[in-house]
Structures are given as structure tokens and as C-alpha cells.
Amino acid sequence: MQYHPDKNPNNPEAHAKFQEIAAAYEVLVDDQTREMYDQFGLDGLSGGGMGGPGVSPEDLFEHLFGGGGGPSFGFAGFGPGGARRRRRGEDSINPYEVTLEELYVGKTVKMQLEKTVVCNACSGSGGKPGTKPKQCSRCEGEGVIMSTRAVGGATVGFSRITCPQCKGSGKTIREKDRQCKGEKVGKERKRVEINIEAGMPDGHRIVLVGEGDQEPDMAAGDVVFVLQQKEHESFERSGSDLLAHVRITLSEALLGFSRVILTHLDGRGIRFDSRRQGNEKKIYKSGDTVVIKGEGMPVWKKDRRASMSGPVEKGDLFVLFEVEMPTEDWLETVDVQALKALLPPGKPDIPAAVVEEAKFEAGDLSAFGDGDEDAWEDEEDYSADDSTQCRNQ
Ligand SMILES: [Zn+2]
Ligand SMILES: [Zn+2]
């Protein structure tokens, strides 16, 4: 299956991870629920009476595809149950990159989906309309045949394999349908929309139920888009809270400031008055943090009706201040003596019986502890010789 604008690469590692989740899912969901899901997708489950009161479609999906966040999957063609007898087609999982701005305001994406559909002329029989298929002569309608396995020239056993003549259907076609040339399926382009709602979490899965590739005699799988939040240059996100680093000058740190300190995700400037409300004499240090309530991400709720009524609830915006010290160039331009008279005085000597004048150079903390070379060599020898042993411990 192909998509515009995104096409996902095949990733064997992600596939393995997914098999793991699928195995866990098998344990979590009882067979009856699973069967309904296989046949009818989510619609089959929301009909009620299924799987007890504790299983909602969303819960089931979390079981199926894992919770929010986590590693990103980049592959198509996962079918729940893997090698089990399939009644439902494969799901297609597609990563979809979104910016923080898009997640803040929400976005509707229109795209062309190219998918395999059951031929409408022959309804997926592959035969000329009006003709009836006949029983497969190779498997006598069973769909499977016995096959012998030979090892080293000797026949060692039998196994059941899918009939290669009828591909397991048990039927063969007398005369091929002209539209699909007997293939039973064709390609179709379909316009679809995915609705990225404001505040959706990173890793959220948007599911187009039943929009997967169609195959005859089988319910189509789903097309799933997994939101991948791109890194933002000004904001970090944690749930519905945002964090921004804001640099202020030494003058602002000492004397206060009132200015637009950042551009929010919807383009609004956020003005900050450091001297507001009993804050008149506060000096800002690097690492000081303020929180602006209600200026975080919109709070997204699974139950859309709840979030649509009333004002949008939002998380908080944390601002972390960092004080920029002036440059040496700036110091050249001022009256240093006057400045010294204004600033708090320096500290006196620490009392000591013997005092030595320090000789120093610029340092680098990554070199801290490097002088102790013998200890490091021993460590390296040890790990090289005993690497297998270490791994087993
Ligand atoms: Zn056809
Ligand atoms: Zn056959």
C-alpha cells in the first residue's frame, strides 16, 4: 500500500517489537473479543456486550498497538495473530511527522490512499461474471495438499501445505473476469482525511478502520497513522506542559524587565513583567523558573465530546531563565571604576597561615580525573580479556 505524502520504510527491528506486542495482546484479550475484532474491526466491539464492561475499543487498541509514546514503528503489513488463520486483512502502520505548532492548533490532513480493492466486476471471484468456479482438481476443494519432505534423498514425512493451484481457495476459475484478468483485486485511489486534534500526544495512533488493502473473503485491515512529534527549537513538551528557556541580560536580571520574552506556538508574543505584584525587587538568577498557568498545550481527551464543550483546557508553560553575562568588549566601553563603585564589593581573603600565588590556565572538566592513568589501563585490560564473562553476569 502506498501513501502520499508519507511512505514508510520497512524496519525489521520495529517488526520484531511489534510481534512482541502482538503476543502480549493475545494473552490480554479473550478469544471472543478477538474474533469480533478480526471480523468487524472496532465497530464490531463498540456494539456492546463484548468482552465485559472493562474493554473499550480504545483499551483494545492500546493492547493491540501498545500505549502512547514508546518506540516508533516504521513498517507496513502487520496482521494480528500472524500465522493464525486470517479472517481479517493486514493492518498498515505508518509514522506521521507533526510539528509542535500543528499539535498545538490541530490540523486536518488530506491524502491520497492507493489501495488494493476487491474487483467490483466479479465481486472478487476472479471469474467472468455469470460463471461459477469449479472445484480445484489438485486439492479436490480442500485448499491444502499433502506434501512430502525429502532430506538427503530419503522421504522423511508429510506436511500439509496450501494448494499451489488454487492458492488455498479450493476453487478454480473456468473463464477469467476481463476487468481484473482473474486477479480478483485491483488498485484504487481514495481521498482520505486524518484529523490531528489539538493536544494529541506524541505517539498517538489515528486509525482509519477498514481502510487497509482488501482481499476476497476477508475483512480489510486498518490503516494506522502514528504521530511523531518533531523536536522544537524553543519548546520542550511533557504531557500538556511546555518548557521554554529564556535568556535575559545582566541588567534585566538585576533591574527587572517587561518585554515579549517568547513567541508562542500559535504566533502570539508572550509579554512578561518581572516586577509585577510584590515582585518589585526580585533579582533573577540563572535557573530561576516561573510558571505561566494555562499557556501549555491543549489537554487532549480520548472522549472528544467532553473536550469540545466549554473552553479548551490547557497545561502550563514553564519558563527557565538564563542570565547572559556581558562580554569583554562591553567592559571596554564602560567606566570600570564607576561600575565597581556601584556593584557589591569583592570578598576579603580567606584566613590562612601560608599563602601561595596560583599559576593557572584555562581548564576543561572532561579532563578531571584523567591523571590517574594506571587505574584506567587496568580497567581496559580487564574488560577486554573478560568481555564474555562480563556479559553473562
Ligand atoms: Zn474481477
Ligand atoms: Zn486447490
Q: How many helices (H) and strands (E) does the chain have?
A: 10, 17
Please, which residues have CB less than 5 A from ligand 2, an ion? Answer: 136, 138-139, 163, 165-166
Element (H, E) at 236: strand 235-238
Average pLDDT across the chain, whole number: 78
**Inter-CA distances, 39 with 27, 32, 51, Å:** 19, 11, 15
Does residue 328 belong to any structural domain of this protein? Answer: no
Q: Are strands 317-324 and 241-249 parallel, antiparallel or unpaired?
A: parallel
| Alpha carbons 293 and 315: distance in angstroms, whole number | 7
Please answer whether residues 242 and 235 qualify as being in contact, where contact means their C-beta atoms are separated by less than 8 angstroms.
Answer: yes
Residue with cell 487532549: 300
Q: Backbone phi, then psi, for 381, in 5-degree steps? A: -60, -45
pLDDT at 346 over 80: yes
> What's the total number of domains in the chain?
1
**Inter-CA distances, 243 with 87, 118, 127, Å:** 47, 50, 62
| Alpha carbons 135 and 140: distance in angstroms, whole number | 6
Distance from the CA of 145 to the center of ligand 2, in angstroms? 8
Q: What is the pLDDT of residue 247?
A: 97
Q: What is the pLDDT of residue 335?
A: 96
Does residue 326 belong to any structural domain of this protein? Answer: no
pLDDT at 389 over 70: no
**Residue 193: beta bridge partners?**
110
Q: What is the mean pLDDT of residues 121-142?
A: 88
Distance from the CA of 117 to the center of ligand 2, in angstroms? 23
Query: Which is more confident, 239 or 151?
Result: 239
Residue with cell 517568547: 262
Does residue 33 belong to any structural domain of this protein? Answer: yes
Amino acid in position 275: R
Residue 145 burial (10 A CB sphere; 0-12, 13-18, 19+): middle
Distance from the CA of 173 to the center of ligand 2, in angstroms? 11
pLDDT at 20 over 90: no
Cell of 44: 464490531
Cell of 45: 466491539
3-state secondary structure of 276: coil
Please answer whether residues 361 and 288 qualify as being in contact, where contact means their C-beta atoms are separated by less than 8 angstroms.
Answer: no
Distance from the CA of 171 to the center of ligand 2, in angstroms? 6
Distance from the CA of 264 to the center of ligand 1, in angstroms? 55
Q: What is the mean pLDDT of residues 176-201?
A: 93
Does residue 39 belong to any structural domain of this protein? Answer: yes
Does residue 261 belong to any structural domain of this protein? Answer: no
Q: For 63-129, what is the HEC assignment?
A: HHHCCCCCCCCCCEEECCCCCCCCCECCEEEEEEEECHHHHHHCEEEEEEEEEEEECCCCCCCCECC
- Report the candidate in 250, 269, 260, 265 with the shortest Cα–Cα distance to residue 334: 250
What residues contact 235, with CB distance under 8 A and at least 6 apart? 100, 242, 243, 244, 265
Does residue 65 belong to any structural domain of this protein? Answer: yes
- Report the candidate in 115, 93, 71 with the shortest Cα–Cα distance to residue 8: 93
- Range with lowest mean pLDDT among 55-64, 181-190, 203-212, 343-352: 55-64
Distance from the CA of 332 to the center of ligand 1, in angstroms? 85
Residue with cell 556601584: 342
3-state secondary structure of 250: helix
Distance from the CA of 221 to the center of ligand 1, in angstroms? 21
Distance from the CA of 49 to the center of ligand 1, in angstroms? 38
Rg (CA), the chain: 33
Distance from the CA of 292 to the center of ligand 2, in angstroms? 69
Distance from the CA of 136 to the center of ligand 2, in angstroms? 4
Is residue 370 very low, low, confident or very high in pLDDT (cuts 50, 70, 90)?
A: confident
Q: What is the pTM for the complete model shown? A: 0.61
Is residue 255 very low, low, confident or very high in pLDDT (cuts 50, 70, 90)?
A: very high
Distance from the CA of 126 to the center of ligand 1, in angstroms? 5
Query: Which is more confident, 148 or 228?
Result: 228
Distance from the CA of 89 to the center of ligand 2, in angstroms? 21
Q: What is the pLDDT of residue 66?
A: 39
- Range with lowest mean pLDDT among 55-69, 151-165, 222-236, 246-260: 55-69
Please, which residues have CB less than 5 A from ligand 1, an ion? Answer: 119, 121-122, 177, 179-180
Q: What is the mean pLDDT of residues 49-75?
A: 38
Please answer whether residues 166 and 133 qualify as being in contact, where contact means their C-beta atoms are separated by less than 8 angstroms.
Answer: no
pLDDT at 308 over 70: no
Distance from the CA of 38 to the center of ligand 2, in angstroms? 25
- Residue ranges making up the domain that contains 60: 12-70
Element (H, E) at 147: strand 144-151
Q: What is the pLDDT of residue 289?
A: 96
- Report the candidate in 317, 321, 340, 333 with the shortest Cα–Cα distance to residue 253: 321
Amino acid in position 154: A
Does residue 18 belong to any structural domain of this protein? Answer: yes
Distance from the CA of 220 to the center of ligand 1, in angstroms? 17
Does residue 237 belong to any structural domain of this protein? Answer: no
Burial 255-281 (b: 16+ CB within 10 A, else e): ebbeeebbebbeeeeeebebeeeeeee
